[in-house]
Amino acid sequence: MIFIMDTKPWLTCLQQNGYRLTATRKAVVEIIAQTENALNPLEVYEQARRRTRGLGLVTVYRTLEKLEETGLIQRVHQPGGCNAYLPSAHGHQHLIICQQCGHAEYFEGDDMQGLFEQVANQHGFHIREHWLQLFGTCRDCQKN
Ligand SMILES: [Zn+2]
Ligand SMILES: [Zn+2]
């Protein structure tokens, strides 16, 4: 797992970007910074609500927006189409995500340069970037 447990750098980053940190916003940051599962805004809300009083869904959306803007979290695709978020990877990483519980891990390395070149040639493209996300069932969910 490469997810960050210390939220201080996140809070500092947000403050430097002019984001005023209230207790409710902090709760949202803590949930999403420490999650190992991709969470949609409603799930963040449910979890953060247990830590703080008076949290509104709008605060969740705004805070997630700000975190995405500053690059601390990234949006992930979900088969259902609903947006979910995860702490951003450090550098170039790929994502494997459980379709049942949302458990996510980043992995490095891809041996697909050959495939990319083939696709690029076929379509006359010059490939600059790629974004790879694998879906599946995690170890725990396979047992159930
Ligand atoms: Zn799972
Ligand atoms: Zn790659």
- Residue 118 domain-assigned (yes or no): yes
- Compute the mean pLDDT over every residue in the chain, rounded to the nearest whole number: 89
**pLDDT tens digits, residue range 53-74?**
899 999 999 999 999 999 999 9
CA–centroid distance, 136 to ligand 1, in Å, is: 8
- What residue numbers bound the domain in which 119 lies? 94-143
- Measured from the alpha carbon of residue 103, the closest ligand is 1
Q: Is the pLDDT confidence value at 81 over 80? A: no
Q: How far apart are CA 38 and CA 55, in angstroms?
A: 20
82 and 99 part of one domain = no
Total structural domains within the chain: 2
Cα–Cα–Cα angle for 108, 33, 64, nearest 5°? 105
Please write the tens of the pLDDT for every residue from 36-57. 999 999 999 999 999 998 999 9
Note whether 19 and 70 are same-domain residues.
yes
Residue at 3 is within a domain = no
Residue 44 located in a structural domain: yes
89 C-alpha vs ligand 2 centroid, how far in Å?
12
Q: Same domain for 56 and 124?
A: no
Ligand 1 centroid to residue 100 C-alpha, Å: 5
